[in-house]
């Protein structure tokens, strides 16, 4: 048995591993920190969640803010304007894009010892955050979304400014990654593929080849993909359970472990580049890595589409009063589907529950029902544990909310 502390992730995680003849025989993931946000929220005024929840995570705090606003809206039957919904999508997609870019270079490229243009990467991330700030004011921990809409009221000049940034970001992506052509990989995509090929790891890290997406937006729709068939995913079948020796809860859908995140979204949404990779390597670490950076490029186009179709004549926010009740919503964050459930009584939070993407991808199962991460790791060379693990873009902080 070997206990390994995995650092340089968002938070920390312990891996309890059994290795035999250089191969992983068993693995258990432990998240050692307890934060208690759900308990902190209990009995507080409902609107306090708008300030507390974005602090759950320093990477996807924006997604938590928008999820909070959305679940409070659902409780009260509030429907924001299309303008507000599109602005929220723009800012959330910006958060996802900059996360994917940081992960691709600062985690995967660093892990593999590959050189890259740090100045260019930093410049792109700054520009993404500038675009986000036009609407959200700041990142992270923005407070611009609230039940009924958003607090910003962009002008046509600001839309032009945001569109110019999005256009320049697409050019920068082209310089980094080329055309996403699997038959002719270019630039940093080729550099990465060649390294994975030299290490002989292209086929490692396969899970169950089942995917789930709970959010619905302008990029992807709610669905699960199982045995090649796409069907709706329903929140009532999600189950959380306590896990021994870990402050993260196990999450399953009808008793099965599913993968969520960029690979799940691209498999359900469709995309020639990822589909071709999947035909060759299935849901391996290769497809998982490339799907994340491919998604970033696709989301830039969605941002441009939202900017070009934004109706500035609509209200940014409508008058709204909170009601008592219970509701659940799901949206897509950088690492996958994020679920918020709230119960409000006398304008105060009676219960608040959050299911994060890392709970889906890094739960622990049993010998008879291995979890996704266990399926991906058991049988793999012990020397490649870190690489396979990191392809899921772990967030311990979010998971131990």
Are the CB atoms for 263 and 288 separated by under 8 Å? yes
Per-residue pLDDT at 9:
65
Strand partners, 20: 23
Per-residue pLDDT at 399:
78
- DSSP per-residue letters across 254-310: TTB--B-SHHHHHHHH--HHHHHHHHHHTTSHHHHHHHHHHHHHHHHHHHHHHHHT-
Which phi and psi (to 5°) does residue 57 adopt? -145, 140
Per-residue pLDDT at 2:
58
Per-residue pLDDT at 272:
92
3-state DSSP call for residue 4? strand
Its pTM stands at 0.95
- State the burial class of residue 130 (Cβ atoms within 10 Å of its Cβ: 0-12, 13-18, 19+): middle
Per-residue pLDDT at 395:
80
CATH architecture of the domain with range 2-399 = Orthogonal Bundle (1.10)
Give, as one character, the DSSP assignment of residue 381: B
The enclosing H or E element of 166 equals helix 156-177
Q: How far is CA 186 from CA 116, 174, 182, 193, 386, in A?
A: 14, 10, 9, 10, 26
Residues of the chain whose pLDDT is less than 50? none
Per-residue pLDDT at 322:
93
Q: Where are the beta strands (DSSP E) in 108-217?
A: 145-146, 149-150, 211-213
Q: State the Cα–Cα distance between residues 191 and 59, nearest whole angstrom.
A: 27
Q: Where are the beta strands (DSSP E) in 74-200?
A: 145-146, 149-150
Are the CB atoms for 260 and 357 separated by under 8 Å? yes
């Amino acid at each position: 048995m070997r206990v390994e502390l995995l650092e340089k992730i968002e938070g920390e995680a312990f891996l309890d591993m059994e290795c035999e003849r250089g191969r992983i025989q068993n693995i258990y993931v432990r998240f050692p920190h307890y934060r208690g946000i759900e308990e902190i929220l209990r009995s507080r005024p409902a609107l306090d969640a708008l300030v507390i929840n974005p602090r759950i995570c320093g990477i996807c705090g924006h997604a938590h803010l928008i999820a909070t606003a959305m679940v409070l809206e659902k409780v009260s039957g509030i429907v924001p304007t299309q303008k507000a919904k599109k602005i929220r999508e723009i800012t959330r997609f910006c958060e996802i894009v900059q996360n994917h870019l940081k992960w691709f270079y600062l985690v995967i490229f660093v892990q593999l010892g590959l050189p890259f243009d740090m100045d260019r990467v930093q410049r792109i991330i700054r520009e993404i955050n500038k675009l986000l700030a036009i609407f959200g004011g700041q990142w992270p921990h923005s407070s611009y979304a609230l039940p009924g809409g958003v607090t910003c009221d962009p002008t046509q000049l600001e839309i032009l400014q945001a569109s110019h940034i999005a256009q320049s970001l697409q050019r920068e992506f082209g310089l980094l990654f080329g055309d996403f052509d699997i038959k002719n990989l270019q630039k940093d995509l080729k550099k990465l593929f060649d390294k994975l090929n030299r290490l002989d790891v292209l086929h490692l890290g396969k899970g169950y080849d089942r995917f789930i997406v709970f959010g619905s937006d302008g990029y992807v729709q709610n669905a699960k993909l199982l045995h090649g068939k796409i069907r709706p995913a329903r929140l009532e079948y999600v189950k959380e359970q306590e896990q021994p020796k870990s402050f993260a809860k196990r999450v399953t859908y009808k008793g099965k472990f599913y993968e969520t995140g960029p690979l799940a979204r691209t498999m359900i949404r469709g995309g020639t580049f990822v589909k071709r990779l999947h035909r060759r390597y299935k849901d391996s670490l290769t497809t998982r890595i490339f799907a994340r950076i491919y998604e970033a490029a696709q989301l830039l186009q969605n941002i441009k589409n939202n900017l070009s179709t934004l109706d500035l004549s609509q209200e940014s926010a409508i008058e709204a009063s909170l009601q008592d009740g219970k509701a659940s919503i799901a949206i897509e964050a950088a690492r996958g589907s994020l679920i918020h459930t709230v119960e409000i009584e006398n304008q105060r939070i009676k219960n608040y529950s959050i299911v994060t993407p890392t709970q889906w991808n890094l739960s622990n199962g049993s010998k008879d029902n291995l979890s996704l991460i266990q399926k991906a790791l058991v049988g793999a060379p012990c020397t490649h544990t870190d690489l396979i693990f990191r392809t899921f873009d772990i967030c311990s902080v979010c998971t131990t909310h």
